[in-house]
């Protein structure tokens, strides 16, 4: 999944560090360590959107279904 991050005009620069929490679904939890964020830290500048990639490496025994978690 790709996320686009941007500042309002006239704001910044702001350095952010992103992290993930556990994902919870019908079959239990996928640990936060299985969620990969790239880049995990970046500096946002006004007028320059940044793209962040989020990928989940679900364990082979994870039950199918929708899982929810947090990025902060």
Closest CA to 7 of 42, 48, 58, 59: 48
71 in a structural domain: no
Three-state SS for 42? strand
pLDDT (tens digit, 9 = 90+) per residue, 16-62? 999 999 999 987 899 999 999 999 999 999 989 999 999 999 988 88
Give how far Cα 51 sits from Cα of 23, 27, 29, 33, Å: 22, 31, 27, 21
**Domain membership flag for residue 37:** yes
38 occurs within a structural domain: yes
Domain holding 28, by residue range, is 2-56
In a domain, 66, yes or no: no
Global confidence as pTM: 0.84
What lies within 8 Å, CB to CB, of 39 at 6+ separation is: 52
């Amino acid at each position: 999944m790709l996320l686009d991050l941007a500042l309002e005009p006239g704001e910044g620069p702001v350095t952010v560090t992103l992290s993930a929490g556990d994902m919870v679904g019908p079959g239990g939890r996928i640990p936060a360590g299985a969620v990969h964020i790239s880049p995990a830290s970046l500096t946002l500048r006004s007028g320059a959107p940044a793209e962040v990639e989020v990928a989940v490496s679900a364990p082979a025994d994870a039950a199918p279904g929708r899982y929810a978690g947090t990025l902060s």
